[in-house]
Chain A
């Protein structure tokens, strides 16, 4: 006889300008592994943050009923007290502390502030046994791999007498073997009667362990499937089943010869030297063509682009970059820029803008030579350039002297775009160009992309939003776990096809 351990009713969470969740319902049976699936940005993580009290009661609408009691969590401490423990995608371990210190961090067995290390380590050993990790409790976190770190996180959760364990994309950064081990562990916990929520978009994993699957799309619950109804096809249709509306500017592609080619590109992780992040990728882009790279978070798309752009990511980079058939040296950013390659980052605040300087200085930064003579900047020419691009990309600001830190996301993105347009590249790599910006600004960005393609630039768009790729590109590569697992003309592509290529690795790169 099963009973409902958790019920979330009509959860609605609004951020300024965006409704992240609207009337989401989730009901979890005791002893189940309940999977929550959905595209990036569908609202899965937001829902879990509501549940765990990261967003305190009062900042959302709806009810949370846990073990028959309505709960109003004010913070993560409240929810942990009730036995709800969440393990986030980004691990929250202190690298230079030991396993035992991490597991009991903030919760040490101590008398009068003096820690009883023997007690802590004995308990840690017991917990590590439970999760099947054979390591000395004194080992530093930094000395064990990501897979083992994940197990330490779980052991830490177990130390808190967990009743409901939530795992947010637990296998995102794990190898196949570690992932399997983790899933086995989940099944073992289930046998012992624990309830867990698994957030994932790896459908094969969901298929393997989940008793129920709830699909979330655009901040709404679409459906909850029982074990016997779970199939990848069903989930995929449910995940992406929205129609493409007229959100993209029309364009007439005029595609020429191949401009940009990458051959057998391989990259290793900058810190974990044995981990190969990019595994022998080949792509090509033609003049006037917009090529998309689809994939889920963690597929290695950004790493691929940044390693191409002046080796800004990774180690032991091998492979060849050809521009109009000739091999070019892109070993530093300035060389890449000189050869006419530009990369517009996905993280404009960290990698794209000097937020404490104004629009004018940001726009000219990648091409100061274009506004100076003998290294002396011509202030007036710079001002003219900045005003010109402000008009071209429709940056809404009081003047070009406004600090970029005070602009909205869409306008910041236009400043970063302007910076690279002024550098006059042949090849433009746009990484998530519309992340976190509103629909109107998105349309403007799409218009700029279409115009650049019409001018004969070769454009690569990396995006996690599949409708966007289908709407603005001519050809789509599908990337998964460091490999290109599919290539298709946009006209033939569909969200189902892309999703299938991702989850099954079917379709071979040309």
Chain B
């Protein structure tokens, strides 16, 4: 009996594993690829229906500037939702922070404290404190996050309106501050004129001529693409040296080429307008940071574990209370940044700033494939989800679709994306 049930040695595991990993690498990432493909299809659709307006450099810049705050907040919301919570207060917190910033810069005359940079830093800290205040109840007293942040939503919208003295707005905000949203990075290298502008007899520049590139943007773009390819290749090499194989080389090449081509196309678009919007740079840095934190850092891993099974995480020595608090502090800081971006874009603080944006943010995260049960979701997914929402907003506005119907379409897309996810999961 004992000899029968003794463990049988398992040989040649590595050989068996190879083809399976190749397939699983493709299938596990299918969701992310599918999402990016969906974004591209949606963009092409609107490019067609708006007779080419969508991809005009000026429109792309607008698109980024209009939606960046959603994506910034979606980064925080992703961690909140992966942890198994929800935050309904982000729109109100953003509005409140916008009002606070405007008051500090325009009304209160705080001397050096009214400097836009100082104000921004103070506002981010205040955002963190708001997150801590809400997270405290959620983490240490186990009050459902839905309720705590619903209360926060009411409270901070109220304070926002009170700060703005009822229904009025506060502004105009200093230009230095507005640069956060509507500025472009300075061209330290200098523009490169590819095709000099040709003026026709009527004194107008001929269509197609007058192409000048913002060279700093081009150089930054090229460096980013090369770095992306280099690090991808280096990781592969390292894995190969240790005898592990992730995906077939051809798949890797195709992936890198497609991603680089898309990135370079966007770089070209921005370079041919006024360069890289400042807010896109901020967003890019934040996205990279959050991808790194969620994929590579222990704190990220712990957040996924906590969302996947809080009891098991706790019994594995993870301080789930402190981690929950941290997730909400992070959300608060990013809500504050979102609020600053909104105020900077409008050039003033208005009582309705960020109103209802919590729903757009949450929708972006769910379209991006996060699970309402917690434990599942990717940063890139949330970002692409945010862009899908943004492109639809932008495209439908250009097409002249009524705002009411825009909401209907967005709702259907959200529902469809989640149904697709659930259906896929059940099939697997």
When the two chains form their complex, are residues B316 and A365 in contact, meaning their CB atoms are under 8 A apart? yes
- How distant is the Cα of A356 from the Cα of B313 in the complex, in angstroms? 13
| A333 and B298 contact, Cβ closer than 8 Å, known pairs A249-B2, A439-B5 | no
B56 at interface (Cβ–Cβ under 8 A)?
A: no
When the two chains form their complex, are residues B376 and A356 in contact, meaning their CB atoms are under 8 A apart? yes
When the two chains form their complex, are residues B312 and A352 in contact, meaning their CB atoms are under 8 A apart? yes
Interface residues of B in 333-384 (CB under 8 A from A): 371, 375-376
Q: Which residues of A contact B313 (CB under 8 A)?
A: 354, 365
- How distant is the Cα of A16 from the Cα of B341 in the complex, in angstroms? 59
| A377 and B297 contact, Cβ closer than 8 Å, known pairs A337-B317, A354-B305, A398-B20 | yes
Interface size class of B (residues with CB under 8 A): 35 or more
A58 at interface (Cβ–Cβ under 8 A)?
A: no
Q: Which residues of B contact A372 (CB under 8 A)?
A: 297-298
- B308's partner among A334, A357, A396 (CB-CB below 8 A) is A357
Interface residues of B in 1-32 (CB under 8 A from A): 1-2, 4-7, 10, 13, 16-17, 20-21, 24, 28
Give the segment of A176-184, A267-275, A379-387, A491-499 that binds chain B. Answer: A379-387
Binding site for A on B (CB under 8 A): 1-2, 4-7, 10, 13, 16-17, 20-21, 24, 28, 238-239, 242, 244, 296-299, 301-302, 304-305, 308-309, 311-319, 371, 375-376
B83 vs chain A, min Cβ distance (A): 13
When the two chains form their complex, are residues A379 and B305 in contact, meaning their CB atoms are under 8 A apart? no
When the two chains form their complex, are residues A394 and B10 in contact, meaning their CB atoms are under 8 A apart? yes
For A246, give the chain B residue with the smallest CB separation.
B2
When the two chains form their complex, are residues B375 and A356 in contact, meaning their CB atoms are under 8 A apart? yes
Q: Which residues of B contact A384 (CB under 8 A)?
A: 242
When the two chains form their complex, are residues A333 and B1 in contact, meaning their CB atoms are under 8 A apart? no
Interface residues of B, dominant DSSP: helix
Interface residues of A in 109-156 (CB under 8 A from B): none
| A399 and B2 contact, Cβ closer than 8 Å, known pairs A354-B309, A394-B7 | no
A444 at interface (Cβ–Cβ under 8 A)?
A: yes
B338 vs chain A, min Cβ distance (A): 26
- How distant is the Cα of A372 from the Cα of B302 in the complex, in angstroms? 13
Interface residues of A in 418-449 (CB under 8 A from B): 419, 423, 439-440, 442-444, 447
Nearest 3 Cβ contacts at the A-B interface = A354-B308, A334-B317, A366-B316
B397 vs chain A, min Cβ distance (A): 38
A243 at interface (Cβ–Cβ under 8 A)?
A: no
A15 at interface (Cβ–Cβ under 8 A)?
A: no
A488 vs chain B, min Cβ distance (A): 25
- How distant is the Cα of A265 from the Cα of B314 in the complex, in angstroms? 22
- A361's partner among B28, B297, B305, B315 (CB-CB below 8 A) is B305
| A334 and B319 contact, Cβ closer than 8 Å, known pairs A368-B302, A380-B244, A398-B20 | yes
When the two chains form their complex, are residues A365 and B305 in contact, meaning their CB atoms are under 8 A apart? yes
A245 at interface (Cβ–Cβ under 8 A)?
A: yes
When the two chains form their complex, are residues B242 and A368 in contact, meaning their CB atoms are under 8 A apart? no
When the two chains form their complex, are residues A375 and B298 in contact, meaning their CB atoms are under 8 A apart? yes
When the two chains form their complex, are residues A361 and B304 in contact, meaning their CB atoms are under 8 A apart? yes
Q: Which residues of B contact A376 (CB under 8 A)?
A: 296-298
| A350 and B311 contact, Cβ closer than 8 Å, known pairs A247-B1, A399-B20 | yes
When the two chains form their complex, are residues B244 and A383 in contact, meaning their CB atoms are under 8 A apart? yes
A261 vs chain B, min Cβ distance (A): 22
Q: In the complex, how many residues of chain A place their beta carbon closer than 8 angstroms to a beta carbon of chain B?
A: 50
- How distant is the Cα of A354 from the Cα of B315 in the complex, in angstroms? 11
Q: Which residues of B contact A343 (CB under 8 A)?
A: 315
- How distant is the Cα of A377 from the Cα of B298 in the complex, in angstroms? 6
Q: Which residues of B contact A333 (CB under 8 A)?
A: 314-318
Q: Which residues of A contact B308 (CB under 8 A)?
A: 354-357
Q: Which residues of B contact A332 (CB under 8 A)?
A: 319
Interface residues of A in 321-371 (CB under 8 A from B): 332-334, 336-337, 343, 345, 350-357, 361, 365-366, 368-369
| A440 and B304 contact, Cβ closer than 8 Å, known pairs A312-B315, A345-B315, A366-B316 | no
- How distant is the Cα of A401 from the Cα of B244 in the complex, in angstroms? 13
Q: Which residues of B contact A345 (CB under 8 A)?
A: 315
A260 at interface (Cβ–Cβ under 8 A)?
A: no
A309 at interface (Cβ–Cβ under 8 A)?
A: yes
When the two chains form their complex, are residues B311 and A351 in contact, meaning their CB atoms are under 8 A apart? yes
| A399 and B24 contact, Cβ closer than 8 Å, known pairs A440-B5, A444-B7 | yes
Annotate A441-464 by CB proximity to B: 1 below 8 A, 0 otherwise.
011100100000000000000000
A242 vs chain B, min Cβ distance (A): 14
When the two chains form their complex, are residues A366 and B298 in contact, meaning their CB atoms are under 8 A apart? no
- How distant is the Cα of A246 from the Cα of B10 in the complex, in angstroms? 24
Q: 21 A-B residue contacts at CB 8 Å?
A: A247-B1, A249-B6, A310-B317, A333-B314, A333-B318, A334-B318, A337-B317, A354-B312, A354-B375, A361-B305, A365-B305, A365-B316, A375-B298, A377-B296, A377-B297, A377-B301, A380-B238, A394-B10, A401-B28, A440-B4, A443-B2
Q: Which residues of B contact A443 (CB under 8 A)?
A: 2, 5-7
Q: Which residues of A contact B296 (CB under 8 A)?
A: 376-377, 379
Q: Which residues of B contact A398 (CB under 8 A)?
A: 16-17, 20
- How distant is the Cα of A190 from the Cα of B312 in the complex, in angstroms? 47
A60 vs chain B, min Cβ distance (A): 28
B400 vs chain A, min Cβ distance (A): 43
For A357, give the chain B residue with the smallest CB separation.
B308
B27 vs chain A, min Cβ distance (A): 11
When the two chains form their complex, are residues B317 and A366 in contact, meaning their CB atoms are under 8 A apart? yes
A484 vs chain B, min Cβ distance (A): 24
A480 vs chain B, min Cβ distance (A): 26
Q: Which residues of B contact A312 (CB under 8 A)?
A: 314-315
Looking at B13, B16, B21, B319, which has the most chain A CB atoms within 10 Å of its CB? B13
- How distant is the Cα of A281 from the Cα of B11 in the complex, in angstroms? 47
B132 vs chain A, min Cβ distance (A): 21
Q: Which residues of A contact B21 (CB under 8 A)?
A: 399, 401
- How distant is the Cα of A377 from the Cα of B299 in the complex, in angstroms? 10
- How distant is the Cα of A343 from the Cα of B20 in the complex, in angstroms? 34
- How distant is the Cα of A219 from the Cα of B239 in the complex, in angstroms? 52
B175 vs chain A, min Cβ distance (A): 40
Looking at B6, B7, B316, which has the most chain A CB atoms within 10 Å of its CB? B316
When the two chains form their complex, are residues A447 and B305 in contact, meaning their CB atoms are under 8 A apart? no
For B20, give the chain A residue with the smallest CB separation.
A398
Q: Which residues of B contact A423 (CB under 8 A)?
A: 317
When the two chains form their complex, are residues A380 and B242 in contact, meaning their CB atoms are under 8 A apart? yes
Give me 12 other A-B pairs in contact (C-beta within 8 A), A368-B301, A391-B10, A399-B20 excluded. A247-B2, A247-B5, A309-B315, A350-B311, A354-B305, A361-B305, A365-B312, A365-B313, A365-B316, A376-B298, A398-B20, A443-B5
Q: Which residues of A contact B6 (CB under 8 A)?
A: 249, 443, 447
B407 vs chain A, min Cβ distance (A): 32
Interface residues of A in 388-403 (CB under 8 A from B): 391, 394, 396, 398-399, 401
When the two chains form their complex, are residues B10 and A396 in contact, meaning their CB atoms are under 8 A apart? yes
Looking at B238, B239, B317, which has the most chain A CB atoms within 10 Å of its CB? B317
- How distant is the Cα of A379 from the Cα of B235 in the complex, in angstroms? 10
A416 vs chain B, min Cβ distance (A): 9
- How distant is the Cα of A92 from the Cα of B256 in the complex, in angstroms? 58
- How distant is the Cα of A351 from the Cα of B305 in the complex, in angstroms? 12
A501 vs chain B, min Cβ distance (A): 29
Looking at B1, B28, B376, which has the most chain A CB atoms within 10 Å of its CB? B1
When the two chains form their complex, are residues B301 and A361 in contact, meaning their CB atoms are under 8 A apart? yes
B330 vs chain A, min Cβ distance (A): 15
Q: Which residues of A contact B376 (CB under 8 A)?
A: 356
- How distant is the Cα of A377 from the Cα of B244 in the complex, in angstroms? 17
